[in-house]
Structure 1
Amino acid sequence: MKKLRGICLGAGYFSRFQYEAWARIPEVEIVALANRSLDKAREAAALHRIPRAYAWADLAAMLDAEKPDFVDIITPPETHLEVVRLAAARGIAIICQKPIAPTFAECETIVETARRAGVRLMIHENFRWQPWYREMRRLLDAGMLGELFSINIRTRLGDGWQDDAYLARQPFFRTYPRLFCYETGVHFLDTFRYLGGEITSVYTRFQKRNPAILGEDAAQIVCGFASGATAILDASRYNESDAADPRYTFGLVRIDGRKGHVELDLAGKLTLKLLGQPTRLLDYPHTRGGFAGDCVHALQRHFVDCMMSGGPFENTGEDYLKSTALMEACYRSQATNQVVTLP
């Protein structure tokens, strides 16, 4: 079996989940990596048994020497456009972490650059690949809940109240002028779209609870679906939950429909209650391995399957622009204290 040759860019906190997931996909061989710190690149290469590490200044030479089938971009948003241009010019498929870029205009440029070059672009948006959301979507598609009424998510991550919040894991969060919605809330906005379809209006309230950081760390977002259903996100990175690992499910979820409701708890337990019937526990596959139910592996498995079959990606750049546009609408709503409508 001929393996797909991949190269990865990045050696920060989250990259370990992606390297570990690639190692479990037999059709893939990660042949090299690069990072803005060459020392960290070499450390990551040794840790994950990747043959070669490159300096960031040598990106073009790395692409030419390694001749990969794809590049996995795991670096911060401000680096993405440079890499996409280099990869697209060489006909190399791209998987790119979210946020796509710092501004919506730059996001559009990245998507258009890949489109014009005819290269495949998938956005690494992994929340919709968490196993509980896949099961919820299966129930909705099967008509188990009937007409969708509402989706409610309450998340309390508790990693942002300390004076040194985010320094150990993602220190750049401290100086983001836009933090929660830009970095975390967009996950949930994309998940709302995955579960309920397109959203046509948003109303948002943001707060900054921790004075040691620059951007917002709490939010309440109300989304109106084209179908007439509503989604509500009540979120804080400042306040804590009771979960031993609040980053497993990232919150409590309830979906109401005409026939009943489904609920997710902090341990990944899903229950279904149809109207007039007792609550029952749903048996579905989910694991504590990897990140958040092993969603990174599920997403990368999908990428590989589509690369090998030629099938369409679920997380295309064009589709993720819609989730990004929702995020931008949330900031406009906060600035104006008005409901913002979307086409």
Structure 2
Amino acid sequence: MGTTIRIGVIGCGFYAQNHLNAWRDLAPFGAALTAVCDVDPAKAKAAGETFGVPWYTDVKAMLATEKLDAVDIVTRQDTHRAIAETTIAHGVSTIVQKPFAPTWEDATAIVDAARKAGVWLAVHENFRFQAPLRAVRKVIDSGAIGEPSWARITFRTGFDVYKTQPYFLDEEKLVIADVGVHVLDVSRFLLGDVSRISCEIQRRNPRVKAEDDTATMLLRHESGAVSVVEATYEARRADDWFPETLLEIEGPRGSIIVTAGCKMKLTSDGKATTSDIGAPLLSWTSHPWHVSQEGAMGACRHFLDCLQRGVPAETRGEDNLKTYALVDAAYKAAAEHRAVAPVRWS
């Protein structure tokens, strides 16, 4: 067991339950879920009673009362900047749920605040921590297919996300900002940073306010690799694989293909092998959410380890700005009908 890290979770809504369960399960490794907070007293009380910790409806009151090493902010993105700036000002290590913030200005302000205060900051960008994607990264690192030169990374579903998150219907920006950010981060995780991006968006569901319930993106990576990144909530198929990310990656020595059910086919020097790269169900996970839930667990495990060792997270604020910049560039590319270079932050 490593150094104990006392954690407060801010936001006790739908997806926050995965964070709460993850922190509880990580107790044997040094995570101490210490307090919860939500502006909705009913949600805060329910989480406090379920997880056996004090509950609050005011972030400042929680910070003043509890001795916390870190907070995990799992609230709507329009609240992230104000909450993060408050926790950073208190010198508390801060994890922010993706999307990082509503605007580039808000996201960079959070990173600037943490840098100036010398406070550890990470973004809960969890797709890259899913067991299948970690397995793919391990194969790439082994050199089995050589340096990747082409990929297709796909998240296509018709699962009713509006049932559990009805506010999606009224968002100004939807699929790229919500799930596209995940698959864009996966493209960076597997093929490296991006020099330019093109994008076509569609609104295929008339109930949706945003112009993008579907996005098809073409990325040129700094390595020279090219990837096609797809995201939609409007696929219609009997074998819907929600919430899995499927992919194909090619290199000079072979290829990696991940298919539904977390199956990976690896071809290396003409020899093919197939393996199951899914993770076992946790006590609190359920089909079909288990893949996403396991990713949340993996992210929390990574953050705990980094906090204990005093090192930056993979998805530290500065790094996540590169993914955030891709989201902004994708929307700009769609609007201007041209390839766009993502903004660089320094």
**TM range, smaller chain:** over 0.9
Residue 266, structure 1, aligned to residue 260, structure 2: yes
Alpha-carbon deviation of 1:285?
Answer: 6.0
Quick check: 2:219–2:227 contact (8 Å CA) kept in 1? yes
Give aligned pairs, total. 332
| Residues in 2 aligned to 1:221 and 1:135: alpha-carbon distance in whole angstroms | 24
Which ranges in structure 1 are unaligned for 5 or more consecutive residues?
none
- Read off the aligned partner of 2:265 and give its amino acid letter: T
- Read off the aligned partner of 1:268 and give its amino acid letter: C
Which residue of structure 2 aligns with residue 90 of structure 1? Answer: 90
Residue 221, structure 1, aligned to residue 224, structure 2: no
Deviations 1:175-219 (A, max 9, x none): 111100011101011110010011111110000111111111111
- TM-score, normalised via structure 1 length: 0.92
Residue 32, structure 1, aligned to residue 35, structure 2: yes
Alpha-carbon deviation of 1:72?
Answer: 0.5
Residue 198, structure 1, aligned to residue 231, structure 2: no
Which residue of structure 1 aligns with residue 204 of structure 2? Answer: 209
The percentage of aligned residue pairs carrying the same residue is 32
- TM-score, normalised via structure 2 length: 0.91
Alpha-carbon deviation of 1:284?
Answer: 4.6
Which residue of structure 1 aligns with residue 113 of structure 2? Answer: 113
Which residue of structure 2 aligns with residue 147 of structure 1? Answer: 147
Which residue of structure 2 aligns with residue 104 of structure 1? Answer: 104
Quick check: 1:73–1:80 contact (8 Å CA) kept in 2? yes
The residue matched to 2:122 in structure 1 has which SS? strand
Quick check: 1:156–1:241 contact (8 Å CA) kept in 2? no
| Residues in 1 aligned to 2:236 and 2:258: alpha-carbon distance in whole angstroms | 18
Alignment root-mean-square deviation, CA: 1.7
| Residues in 2 aligned to 1:224 and 1:145: alpha-carbon distance in whole angstroms | 19
- Read off the aligned partner of 1:225 and give its amino acid letter: H
Alpha-carbon deviation of 1:341?
Answer: 2.3
Structure 1 range deviating more: 233-242 or 315-324: 233-242
Quick check: 2:263–2:278 contact (8 Å CA) kept in 1? no
Call closer, same or farther: CA 1:20–1:112 in 2, change over 3 Å: same
The residue matched to 1:292 in structure 2 has which SS? helix
The residue matched to 1:119 in structure 2 has which SS? coil
| Residues in 1 aligned to 2:172 and 2:204: alpha-carbon distance in whole angstroms | 14
Quick check: 1:73–1:95 contact (8 Å CA) kept in 2? yes
Deviations 1:28-52 (A, max 9, x none): 12121111211111122223x2321
1:119-134 matches, cutoff 5 A: 119-134=119-134
Call closer, same or farther: CA 1:212–1:244 in 2, change over 3 Å: closer
The residue matched to 1:304 in structure 2 has which SS? helix
1:1-343 matches, cutoff 5 A: 3-26=4-27, 27-47=30-50, 49-55=51-57, 58-160=58-160, 166=162, 168-215=163-210, 216-243=212-239, 245-247=241-243, 249-250=244-245, 252-277=246-271, 279-282=272-275, 284=277, 286-289=279-282, 290=285, 291-292=290-291, 294-342=294-342
- Read off the aligned partner of 1:269 and give its amino acid letter: K
Alpha-carbon deviation of 1:95?
Answer: 0.8
Quick check: 2:263–2:277 contact (8 Å CA) kept in 1? no
| Residues in 1 aligned to 2:276 and 2:179: alpha-carbon distance in whole angstroms | 28
| Residues in 2 aligned to 1:245 and 1:151: alpha-carbon distance in whole angstroms | 19
Alpha-carbon deviation of 1:135?
Answer: 1.3
Quick check: 1:73–1:96 contact (8 Å CA) kept in 2? yes
Quick check: 2:180–2:230 contact (8 Å CA) kept in 1? no
The residue matched to 1:322 in structure 2 has which SS? helix
Quick check: 1:174–1:214 contact (8 Å CA) kept in 2? yes
| Residues in 1 aligned to 2:277 and 2:335: alpha-carbon distance in whole angstroms | 42
Call closer, same or farther: CA 1:66–1:91 in 2, change over 3 Å: same
Call closer, same or farther: CA 1:179–1:244 in 2, change over 3 Å: closer
Alpha-carbon deviation of 1:233?
Answer: 1.6
Alpha-carbon deviation of 1:275?
Answer: 4.4
| Residues in 1 aligned to 2:277 and 2:213: alpha-carbon distance in whole angstroms | 33
Structure 1 range deviating more: 216-225 or 284-293: 284-293
Alpha-carbon deviation of 1:283?
Answer: 5.4
| Residues in 2 aligned to 1:317 and 1:243: alpha-carbon distance in whole angstroms | 36
Alpha-carbon deviation of 1:297?
Answer: 1.3
